[in-house]
Structure 1
Amino acid sequence: MRNVTAAGRNVDEAVQSGLQELELTKDKVEITVIEEGNKGFLGIFGKKQAVVKLVEKIDPIQQAKAYLQTIVEAIAGKSDVTVQENKKSVSFHITGEKAALLIGKRGQTLNALETLTQLALNRYPGQYKNVTVDAENYRSKRKDTLSQLAIRLADQVLKTKKTVHLEPMPSSERKIIHDTLSGYDHQIKTYSMGEGENRHLVISHKR
């Protein structure tokens, strides 16, 4: 977090001097006036310059991006991380020659990166956003795969009337299956069971 103490003939001039040194705009800094300065008697005696301290504001999203990029490049070498932000969520998309290394079996590595990035982003008071981390468009492909799996298993349950337990998966993936089947057939119901890493989705027949 960068900071600078700057001086000028008045507060505005001192602030502008500090902004130029930091290469930031006014909305990106916290400003503390140390000395307001004065022109002195006849502009000569007792003349004092204004002195201000500028401190760069913390940008949680940029800090989370830098944190994620450090981990990513340690695993997969040179990579680019782009950010898309809206009111309640932030998406980080990773591209690079070896980006596929970041996915892992059934997205486990990607899910771990997502958890770490969410913790990094939301460590500041009053700051909470949902985080998605993606590489090689894995999330989109995985969503299609899970939707197809959900329909296939629902058809199996309708035919056999036997309950199906899926493998443990993150809440975001369980939600994909639940949403896919919510309007699929009124005889099908879905719910979650288990705790922590063993939490999984169940597809059953409404008897």
Structure 2
Amino acid sequence: MKELTATGRTVDEAVQSGLKQLELQADDVEIAVIEEGKKGFLGIFGHQPAVVNIREKIDPVKEAKQYLENVILNMGIQAEVTAEEEPKKVMFQLKGNKTALLIGKRGQTLNALETLVQLVLNRHSDRYIQAVVDAEGYRAKRKETLRQLAVKLADQASRQKKDIHLEPMPSSERKVIHDTLSGYSDEIETYSTGEDHNRHLVISYKKQ
């Protein structure tokens, strides 16, 4: 993040001087006036320059992308990170030779990275933005796997007439199963239970 204190005969002149030094535009910075300046007697004696502090605005997406790159590098993995912005969501795509390590068992590592990036992204944003971290199309494949699993377990719950508790999973994955089984059968309902990392979904058989 670039920042400096600039001076000039007027506030506007100080600002323009600072922007030129930083090679930034006015929309890219935050400006704080420290001294408005004084012309002095006859425009000469007692003159005091205007002083401003100019700080580059933090780009939440750029900050989150750099954070993700640093985390991956510290894991000893070389991977390319790209960010695609949507109105309320940012997709971070990972590409490299060791994406399997970044995905982890059932996407656990990828989910952990996504949680961290989500925090960084919204720490510097004035509105909530959803972060999605994906690698080699894993999210789409996982979504299809969850849909198939949902139907299979719903049929099992109906046959055995009992509730089935799934393993803990992120809210986004629980939502896939909720949506898949919504209206699937009058005998089946789904709900989440548990706290924090133990929160999991239940496929419940409704006694008729």
User: CA contact under 8 A between 1:75 and 1:102: conserved in structure 2?
Assistant: no
The equivalent residue for 1:111 is 111
Residue 147 of structure 1 pairs with residue 156 of structure 2: no
Cα deviation, residue 41, structure 1: 5.4
The equivalent residue for 1:22 is 22
- Paired with 1:20 and 1:79, the residues of 2 have a C-alpha distance of 35
The equivalent residue for 2:55 is 55
Larger deviation, residues 152-161 vs 18-27: 152-161
CA 1:75/1:150 → structure 2, altered by over 3 Å: closer, same or farther?
Answer: same
CA 1:194/1:51 → structure 2, altered by over 3 Å: closer, same or farther?
Answer: closer
- Paired with 1:98 and 1:154, the residues of 2 have a C-alpha distance of 35
In structure 2, what residue type is equivalent to 1:50?
Answer: A
Cα deviation, residue 74, structure 1: 2.2
Cα deviation, residue 178, structure 1: 0.7
1:36-55 deviation digits (Å, cap 9, x = unpaired): 34555555545554332212
CA 1:195/1:7 → structure 2, altered by over 3 Å: closer, same or farther?
Answer: closer
1:82-140 deviation digits (Å, cap 9, x = unpaired): 22344544332222232232000000111111122223333469654333222222111
Q: Give 4+ residue runs of structure 1 displaced > 6 Å after superposition.
A: none
The equivalent residue for 2:121 is 121
- Paired with 2:194 and 2:24, the residues of 1 have a C-alpha distance of 50
CA 1:203/1:10 → structure 2, altered by over 3 Å: closer, same or farther?
Answer: same
Cα deviation, residue 69, structure 1: 1.2
Larger deviation, residues 73-82 vs 24-33: 73-82
- Paired with 2:168 and 2:43, the residues of 1 have a C-alpha distance of 76
Larger deviation, residues 77-86 vs 19-28: 77-86
Larger deviation, residues 66-75 vs 124-133: 124-133
TM-score of the superposed pair, with normalisation by structure 1: 0.84
Larger deviation, residues 53-62 vs 121-130: 121-130
- Paired with 1:110 and 1:153, the residues of 2 have a C-alpha distance of 25
- Paired with 1:193 and 1:33, the residues of 2 have a C-alpha distance of 53
- Paired with 1:10 and 1:201, the residues of 2 have a C-alpha distance of 63
Name the count of aligned residue pairs: 207
CA RMSD of aligned residues (A): 2.6
- Paired with 2:43 and 2:3, the residues of 1 have a C-alpha distance of 31
The equivalent residue for 2:202 is 202
Listed as ranges, the matches of 1:1-207 within 5 Å are 1-37=1-37, 44-75=44-75, 77-123=77-123, 128-207=128-207
Larger deviation, residues 35-44 vs 16-25: 35-44
Q: Percent identity?
A: 63
